[in-house]
Structure 1
């Protein structure tokens, strides 16, 4: 309950996470039938980069600001960059769209979005921000409870974004329980799980658990600023994508080298790995 994303909005981890999220939403929109999106840790929806919190850390300067200054971004980034520009109609980047605003901006009239947030002040901000949009529902509850309470949706297709603050020691265990529940209740959902990388031991444990359980196709994507030798620093971040849309692996393979060169030009590196192959289904 103490984590405040306003200090970190628009940093390198947000850029990677939201770029992939925008690619997934774009893929869902290729079909005319409506989709449903569940954001289990929604935050406040969008962030003022001129506010004291963002200015105090300046993390956005190494993230979205660097991306907007880069020449000739790959076309795979078009939906994400369009979402950033949509909340900055005067130009520049003084507002950063979190996942709720990014998805809302890409939705069609028939699509739906459920935003879940446990922090009472953040829930009030979300309710105010999205009050006029009937497509968006706000839920004051634990994000892991929401996976049981709000799934499966009547739309039967869509995505789940799990983006916790990692303030508790058993976060990885809670993630695995949530992923099992999603698989049982909404088997064809595209699920994105974000996680920070300080050291590799907890990350490799997560990967090992996902490999051993099998299931639908599962990708892991990491972008590292530096080797993860200092467990007290945010050395990188990762995304697990369960049931990725067709072609996402190919698009990421083309995008990640460019993103790494822009966001981590001094010693950065990336990794893309198939944890569970499509032909390796175990149940």
Structure 2
């Protein structure tokens, strides 16, 4: 896998997640993050979370931004109170429990990944948050100023990552969840993670990708998977892809699909997602052509093409 050029970002980034907090893409990403963190906490050893694009920690769903574009209504709003099978309820439990803890009454606040990490992590665990946007970094500093487990750094998480691994705990998770402002975002993601994986091949890595450009996402997934298996000696079961789309991916308008690539997924995560994803696809659908996929980053067609070559 050819190493792409390092990203060049301006600190004045435009993306504001408050407009999208709690939408279908957040539901998928955060439910999976909560499951991974819950698994890490099942062992009596400390772990570290490294979040390369942390945002502001949590989002006010009563704010002007959220009210202007209330995507959460068709995301987490549909999940809360919905009838669900027992296996789906079990898969969503870590995620829904922390939402209930944050919102003892009506849903007014939605957690970003830093808040999910902070609420699930134990006193012995540590959380490293990187945020390049200056105002957002200050917001994070204020939010977690009294939490000794959390360290906030105003820096480019891509550039910081290699120096942050392996953590002294030797256990943990890296979340790479960029704003996708740059058309080459997936190349930047690969450039950041490849040296980190070489230094810390046993950590759990979660990469969030939009599926606005399915070809680009598949190219990233396939390239990373092939590199891990053929050059780094990873077993195929150490790579898991979980994607969801709420309408035809070719449809115009707002984002229709998103999901994650997971390196070193926790035990039983695939089984839980096999129950969860079909239910989420039906519950969150906003049009024809909705669906989901859960695989190892290479489809049967990819394998057949590789064999043919």
Per the TM alignment, residue 233 of structure 1 is displaced from its structure 2 partner at its CA by 3.6
Query: In the alignment, is the contact (CA less than 8 A) between 1:218 and 1:276 conserved in 2?
Result: no
Which residue of structure 1 aligns with residue 17 of structure 2?
5
List structure 1 runs of 4+ shifted beyond 4 angstroms: none
What is the alpha-carbon distance in structure 2 between the residues aligned to residue 128 and residue 274 of structure 1? 39
Contact 1:45 1:101 (8 Å CA) reproduced: yes
Question: 94, 110, 123: which one pairs with 1:79?
Answer: 94
Partner of 1:17: 29
Pair 1:181-2:202 in alignment: no
Matched, 1:243 2:264: yes
Distance across 1 between alignment mates of 2:110 and 2:253: 26
For residues 44-103 of structure 1, what are the alpha-carbon distances to aligned partners after superposition, in whole Å with 9 as ceiling and x for unaligned? 0000000010110110001111110312352111100011111113x1210001110011
Counterpart for residue 88 of structure 1: 103
Instruction: Please give the secondary structure, in 2, of the residue aligned with 1:174.
Output: helix
The answer to whether the aligner puts 1:110 opposite 2:131 as a matched pair is no
Alignment correspondent of 1:280? none
> Counterparts of 1:221-240 in structure 2 under 5 Å?
221-230=242-251, 233-240=254-261
* Structure 1 residue 199: Cα displacement: 2.8
Q: Deviations over 1:124-148 (max 9, x none)?
A: 1000000000000001100101212
Q: How many residues align?
A: 277
Q: Is contact 1:199–1:231 with CA below 8 Å preserved after alignment?
A: no
- How far apart are residue 190 of structure 1 and its match? 0.3
User: Aligned equivalents of 2:294 and 2:59: distance in 1?
Assistant: 29
Decide whether aligned partners of structure 1 residues 231 and 186 sit closer, same or farther in structure 2, where only a CA change above 3 A counts.
farther
Separation in structure 2 between the aligned mates of residue 110 and residue 233 of structure 1, nearest angstrom: 41
Pairing 1:59–2:71 present: yes
TM-score (norm 1): 0.94
Listed as ranges, the gaps of 5+ residues in structure 1 are 278-283
Partner of 2:161: 147
- Aligned match of 1:281: none
Q: How does 1:129-144 map to 2 (within 5 A)?
A: 129-144=143-158
Counterpart in the other structure of 1:40: 52
CA contact (8 A) 2:247 2:286 kept: no
2:239 to 218, 237, 247: 218
Q: 2 CA distance for matches of 1:105 and 1:233?
A: 30
> Deviations along 1:228-258, whole A, 9 cap, x unmatched?
1146641110100011011111111111111
Q: Paired residue for 1:26?
A: 38
